[in-house]
Amino acid sequence: MGTEQAQGPVWARETAGRRPKLTREAIVRTAIEVADAEGLDAVSIRRIATELGARAMSLYTHIERKEDLLDLMADETNAEILVEGELPDDWREAISAVVRRTRETIRRHPWLVDLVASRPQVGPNGLRHGEQSLAALSGLPIPPEQKWRIIAAVDDYALGFVIRETLRGEGRSGYTWTPQEREALMRPYLRELLESGEFPNLAPLVNEIASGPADPAAADEDFEQGLRWMLDGIAGDLGL
């Protein structure tokens, strides 16, 4: 009953062998592709299995829980954050290069914000990123703890920025509408509230709120501006 006969002549069948067609790498890669294309919510065990021509439970041979898969996905893409080649000598340029890279990577993989915002990134590549951030400041004559505080502050800014940036874009899980639809639905509501007179300062800024900076270049400049502010403050504090 439950037993199935192999179909077709021998030589047409797979070369026998338990040579795994499922591997951790293939699973993670597929999951990343699905997340890139359809958001993190589309990454279900069943879905990834189907994508690989396998059944759901087969994945559990290679990962222990879904959490593991998410951690592996995050660490895999964390590798893209690493700046290749030499870092600039100037510490400001160096740390800027690193956080720019962070932003670019998250723009390529918007679902990544959900992961970095919900679990510490301490996989191998996450640590390499930390190491590289510290290396960017290696020329500064200050104790490691102080360096770490500087990196944390800059990273915090970058993370916050990218989160809000991603919030405006698509490809994010948890949302039923595209940004355009959302904006269309939102605008009348915003108009009404803002014209109530309760928001004198906010009213002139409806557009900024509803849709964010118009063109990508403006968003880039906003990011650089905030980064400059933070670095200026740090530089001033260090007496540089």
For binding to DNA (CB under 7 A), which residues are involved?
2-4, 6, 14-22, 43-47, 49, 53-58, 60-62, 65-67
Exposed e or buried b per residue across 54-86, where buried means at least 16 C-beta atoms within 10 angstroms of its C-beta = beeebbeebbeeeebbbbbbbbbbbebbebeee
Please report, as residue ranges, which positions from 8 to 67 form the binding site for a copy of itself (by CB under 8 A). Answer: 67
Does residue 234 touch a copy of itself according to CB under 8 A?
Answer: yes
* Nearer CB in complex with a copy of itself: 21/149: 149
Q: Are 166 and 110 in contact (CB under 8 A)?
A: yes
The residue assigned the tokens 């964390």 is 78
Does residue 159 touch a copy of itself according to CB under 8 A?
Answer: yes
Count of residues near a copy of itself by CB under 8 A: 63
* Nearer CB in complex with DNA: 18/141: 18
Name the residue among 178, 169, 173, 176 with its Cα closest to residue 43: 173
Any idea how long the chain is?
240
Q: Are 81 and 137 in contact (CB under 8 A)?
A: no
Separation CA 43–CA 59 (nearest Å): 13
Does residue 75 touch a copy of itself according to CB under 8 A?
Answer: no
* Nearer CB in complex with DNA: 59/98: 59
CB within 8 Å of 78: residues ≥ 6 apart = 105, 121, 123, 125, 126, 128, 129
Report what 178 binds from DNA, a copy of itself, none; CB cut-off 5-8 Å by kind: none
Does residue 88 touch a copy of itself according to CB under 8 A?
Answer: no
Q: 25, 156, 170, 220: which one contacts a copy of itself (CB under 8 A)?
A: 156
Separation CA 83–CA 86 (nearest Å): 8
Q: 22, 76, 130, 140: which one contacts a copy of itself (CB under 8 A)?
A: 130
Q: 5, 8, 176, 216: which one contacts a copy of itself (CB under 8 A)?
A: 176
Residue 187: CB atoms within 10 A of its CB come to: 14
Residue 221: CB atoms within 10 A of its CB come to: 12
Residue 182 CB, nearest approach to DNA (Å): 16
Does residue 149 touch a copy of itself according to CB under 8 A?
Answer: yes
- Where does this chain bind a copy of itself (CB under 8 A)? 67, 113-114, 117-120, 122, 124, 127-128, 130-131, 134-135, 138, 144-145, 147-149, 152-153, 155-161, 163-164, 167-168, 172, 174-176, 186, 190, 193-194, 198-202, 204-205, 208-209, 222, 225-226, 228-234, 236-237
